[in-house]
Structure 1
Amino acid sequence: MSSSPTHALQTEAPEPPPAAAPASARQRHWVRPALAVVGVATSLLVAWLGVDSPTIARSIAIAGVCLTLWLTELVPPFVPTLLLLGGTAALLGPLEPGYKLSAVLAWCADPVLVLFLGGFTLEVAASRHGLDQAVAQHVLRLARGSRRLLMLLVTVGVAFLSMWMSNIAAAAMMLASLRPLLHASHHDTALKRALLLSVALGANFGGMATPVGTGPNAIAISAATPYSQVTFVKWMAFALPLTGLMLLVGFVLLVVSYRVRGRFELPAAPTRKLDTRAHWVLGVFVACAGLWLSEPLHGLSAPLVALGATAALFGSGLLRREDLGRLDWSTLFLIAGGISLGRLVEHSGVVATALRGVDWSAWPQVAQVGLLVSLAALLSALMSNTGTSALLIPIAVQLFPSASMPILVAMGCSFGVPFIISTPPNAMVAGEGGVESSDLLRMGLPLMALGCLVVTLTGPWVLRFFGLS
């Protein structure tokens, strides 16, 4: 799933003993705690000195602390969600009954969480029965020795996997399949860099294409729902061509930059055959995706279909009780926290109060859209993209009460990819060796600029065409 540092790859391999960190690395360890202290102190100071209303002041304090923890990633991503829910009920509940614990917990009862639960369940089922690895190996076989075709298939294969599952898992599967080839062609540094960057390219932009691809998509759908129903088909009709454009431009950049041409020899590797249970999982996946895409015909909502797929996988025995622990509950809690934060700042009037002193009408609409999308990309390049969306989407909805603005901001969050620290797939390919920060910057910066420009100039019109205005 998208380019988010919120997904964790679970493994049972023992960890190697920690090596002594260089002095510069030890110094960098203080950066995030220092930023967290500054962010928390600023939030509390603004709440204490800058606001008269106790409801708004306490909301600012709660939101500021939680956003700081999300953006700096100083604690596990589910912790700020727990603080948000408990802090809201404890500090605001005595002031107004609408902030009692039962009402606050109801903020998390959003159907989009069920949609993501279904996506995570399909991901675990694919991993358990080897479907993800089969896709990665099939990509290598289809290349038939062509370097450019291999790059293209790796990019598209990782992007396809990232549309339905964690982009970390998608990147890990492809890297595992590519590793024999990378080792066999270690002398060809240009091909190695191009292939590794192809993995990062597909993983970073694949999650844009579907509602279940990444955390910002979920927060955007929840914020857009009061204005228009965002179906699976509507989302993909807008986002899939944009994903295709980013992948195509990125592929051309890599081919030109690293002068990829000619052929390669694929090292011999054992091929894993899918058993009967794997074919049943594939059948559930195809049926689920088909029902998602045909929602306008049968009227079953995407979350309801996801719930049915989850019940089918566990009820049929394709997934067992212990597989519940492999679901990405941390990300579900993070998404629930982002949705709840939006409800808090909306109900308390925090965003409306903050924007009241600015004459936004003097700005052209395209400038306001461009500012929000670019800011989303820049913050996501440096911090958590889901935390960034939780910060900016409530502001976007206050500026433009419509279904389109949350979606545009979510797209902007997916463009923040130019640095090693921007996304987990970037860090993974850098960890393979041979890829420098300048390589990621050379690919990611033009794509970030292009994506922000395209979304700013065409996004509102295209979304209006699909009924998401």
Structure 2
Amino acid sequence: MLAPGDVPAASPLQPEPVSASTGAGPRRHWLRPLLAVAGVAAVALVAAFWAEGPVASRAVLIGGVCLVLWLTEVVPPFVPSLLLLGATPVLLGPLDADYRLPAVLAWGADPVLVLFLGGFTLEVAAMRHGLDASVAGHVVRLSRGRPRLLLLLVMGGVAFLSMWMSNVAAAAMMLAALRPILQAAPAGAALRPALLLGVALGANFGGMATPVGSGPNALAVSAASAYSRVTFAEWMALALPLTALMLALGFGLVLLRFRLGGRVELPAQAPRPLSRSGRAVLGVSAACVVAWLSEPLHGVPAPVVALGATVLLFGGGLLEREDLGKLDWSTLLLIAGGISLGRLMEHSGLVAGALAGADLGGWPVAAQLAGLVVVAAVLSALMSNTGTAALLIPLALQLQPAASTSILVAMGCSFGIPFVISTPPNAMAAGEGLDSSELLRVGIPLMLAGCLLVSLTGATVLHLFGLP
């Protein structure tokens, strides 16, 4: 369910998370801490000599340090959130009652957190009862040994899983299902790198399609609520066709790079039928998705539906008490911290001050949005995509205050995919033997194409569905 750059907490139901920097080699282990130290030093200088007034100075220090920690990923992603929630009332509370602890905690108490809690609960239930492994196994069997069809189904299958669960877990399940095929492939065969690229691309793009697909999506929905409520269906009206198109482009580029043909010998494994509890989880998940998509008809907000699904899964015995600890609380805290950072930047006037001297008013609106999308993609390719969204969305809304603006920035964050260090699925594919040059050959054209598509058509499509 996480998008590129975000790594969930480990649990017995999934493999140990892979850092976005995995695959970069020991020589780069010093790079991120060095960048963090340099970033904190730069923030301290800005807070001391650039910020005007004690509120702005302390807000720069708090927000800047948290951003540096998020973007460089030198500490677990929830640590900057806790730092932000603790440091703001301590440093700013004595100056203004709006920064005291009750007010600061209220910043992060956003309904989108309940929506993600429901998504994480569905993920844990699916993994506990084998729904994810069943999807991955069916993908392999449905190909009937045809390499091109296998590649297409792998990309579609892992993207579907990533729409509702961690992209790390989705990639891991698909790689586990493909491992016998990958191991049997002759040295130098095109099938192995093609499938590994397919897994990485599917996991990266799948998170765009739903509001619960990634951290940037959550920040975008929360920020957009100040202008217009974004329903599940409205998000998917833009994002699902975009995801499908990016997967189709990725599929075409992989086929151009690797001439797949012939037949593949599939592992001789009989399909495992879902247990009764597995079918029950499938029913709850399907009902939840239908309720999310039909929100305009019945009017029940998506977070309330997610809360109801959580109650059903735990109350119905499909999840046990110990499963509560397997939910991805780290990401929930990360999202709450990102939302709170945006509120801090708004309340303290930092965003308005940063843009006051920039002469961007004469730029065409389309050029401003395109620049934001490209910057979001480039930063996300090198750093945490949720940290990037937390930085850029408040800036973007000052330039173009509209619900569609935050959504377009979140889409841009999902295109930062060309490097091994860009996303955990990329690092996992590299760990299985995919060369980093193959990711570059496919990832850079896809990043550019995605940014161009969103910049040219995104705002128009969202306006058609009633989002200003």
Report if aligned partners of 1:147, 1:261 keep a CA contact under 8 Å in 2: yes
SS at match of 2:75: coil
Report if aligned partners of 2:216, 2:386 keep a CA contact under 8 Å in 1: yes
Task: Kindly report which structure 2 residues correspond to 1:182-221, keeping only aligned pairs within 5 A, or say none.
Answer: 182-187=182-187, 189-221=189-221
Over residues 345-387 of structure 1, what are the superposed CA-to-partner deviations in whole Å (9 max), with x where a residue is unaligned?
A: 0111000001001121121212211111000000000000000
Structure 2 counterpart of 1:280, which letter?
A
What CA distance in whole angstroms lies between the structure 2 residues aligned with 1:467 and 1:155? Answer: 31
| Structure 1 residue 12: Cα displacement | 8.1
Residue equivalent to 2:465: 466
SS at match of 1:212: coil
Over residues 160-186 of structure 1, what are the superposed CA-to-partner deviations in whole Å (9 max), with x where a residue is unaligned?
A: 000000010000000000001111123
SS at match of 1:163: helix
What CA distance in whole angstroms lies between the structure 1 residues aligned with 2:175 and 2:273? Answer: 19
Task: Kindly report which structure 2 residues correspond to 1:245-264, keeping only aligned pairs within 5 A, or say none.
Answer: 245-264=245-264
| Structure 1 residue 310: Cα displacement | 0.4
1:327 equivalent to 2:327? Answer yes
Task: Kindly report which structure 2 residues correspond to 1:76-155, keeping only aligned pairs within 5 A, or say none.
Answer: 76-155=76-155
What CA distance in whole angstroms lies between the structure 1 residues aligned with 2:294 and 2:345? Answer: 35
User: If the length of structure 2 is used for normalisation, what is the TM-score?
Assistant: 0.96
SS at match of 1:236: helix
Residue equivalent to 1:414: 414
What CA distance in whole angstroms lies between the structure 1 residues aligned with 2:458 and 2:54? Answer: 39
5+ residue gaps in structure 1? 16-20
Residue equivalent to 2:391: 391
| Structure 1 residue 5: Cα displacement | 2.4
What CA distance in whole angstroms lies between the structure 2 residues aligned with 1:300 and 1:26? Answer: 50
What CA distance in whole angstroms lies between the structure 1 residues aligned with 2:323 and 2:382? Answer: 33
What CA distance in whole angstroms lies between the structure 1 residues aligned with 2:26 and 2:351? Answer: 37
Residue equivalent to 1:5: 6
More displaced 10-residue stretch of structure 1: 274-283 or 365-374: 365-374
| Structure 1 residue 44: Cα displacement | 1.2
User: If the length of structure 1 is used for normalisation, what is the TM-score?
Assistant: 0.96
Report if aligned partners of 1:8, 1:168 keep a CA contact under 8 Å in 2: no
SS at match of 2:208: helix
SS at match of 2:260: coil
Residue equivalent to 1:449: 448
What CA distance in whole angstroms lies between the structure 2 residues aligned with 1:116 and 1:357? Answer: 37
Report if aligned partners of 2:366, 2:455 keep a CA contact under 8 Å in 1: yes
What CA distance in whole angstroms lies between the structure 2 residues aligned with 1:386 and 1:12? Answer: 24
Structure 1 counterpart of 2:147, which letter?
R
Report if aligned partners of 2:6, 2:423 keep a CA contact under 8 Å in 1: yes
Structure 2 counterpart of 1:323, which letter?
D
Report if aligned partners of 2:13, 2:127 keep a CA contact under 8 Å in 1: no
| Structure 1 residue 4: Cα displacement | 3.1
| Structure 1 residue 50: Cα displacement | 0.9
SS at match of 1:459: helix
Residue equivalent to 1:18: none
Give the structure, 1 or 2, with the largest relative contact order (CA under 8 Å, sep 6 or more): 2
Residue equivalent to 2:375: 375
What CA distance in whole angstroms lies between the structure 2 residues aligned with 1:284 and 1:468? Answer: 30
Residue equivalent to 2:354: 354
Number of aligned residue pairs: 462
1:67 equivalent to 2:67? Answer yes
SS at match of 1:460: helix
The 3 A distance-change label for structure 1 pair 242 and 14 is closer
Over residues 404-429 of structure 1, what are the superposed CA-to-partner deviations in whole Å (9 max), with x where a residue is unaligned?
A: 11000000000000000000000001
| Structure 1 residue 137: Cα displacement | 0.3
SS at match of 1:362: coil
What CA distance in whole angstroms lies between the structure 1 residues aligned with 2:14 and 2:69? Answer: 29
The 3 A distance-change label for structure 1 pair 403 and 276 is same
Report if aligned partners of 1:416, 1:422 keep a CA contact under 8 Å in 2: yes
More displaced 10-residue stretch of structure 1: 98-107 or 260-269: 260-269
Report if aligned partners of 2:210, 2:232 keep a CA contact under 8 Å in 1: yes
SS at match of 1:361: coil
What CA distance in whole angstroms lies between the structure 2 residues aligned with 1:96 and 1:186? Answer: 67
Structure 2 counterpart of 1:266, which letter?
L
Structure 1 counterpart of 2:403, which letter?
A
More displaced 10-residue stretch of structure 1: 31-40 or 204-213: 31-40
Instruction: Give 4+ residue runs of structure 1 displaced > 3 Å after superposition.
Output: 11-15, 24-27
Identical residues among aligned pairs (%): 66
What CA distance in whole angstroms lies between the structure 1 residues aligned with 2:71 and 2:149? Answer: 38
What CA distance in whole angstroms lies between the structure 2 residues aligned with 1:144 and 1:27? Answer: 43
Task: Kindly report which structure 2 residues correspond to 1:283-298, keeping only aligned pairs within 5 A, or say none.
Answer: 283-298=283-298
What CA distance in whole angstroms lies between the structure 2 residues aligned with 1:47 and 1:411? Answer: 31
Report if aligned partners of 1:67, 1:387 keep a CA contact under 8 Å in 2: yes
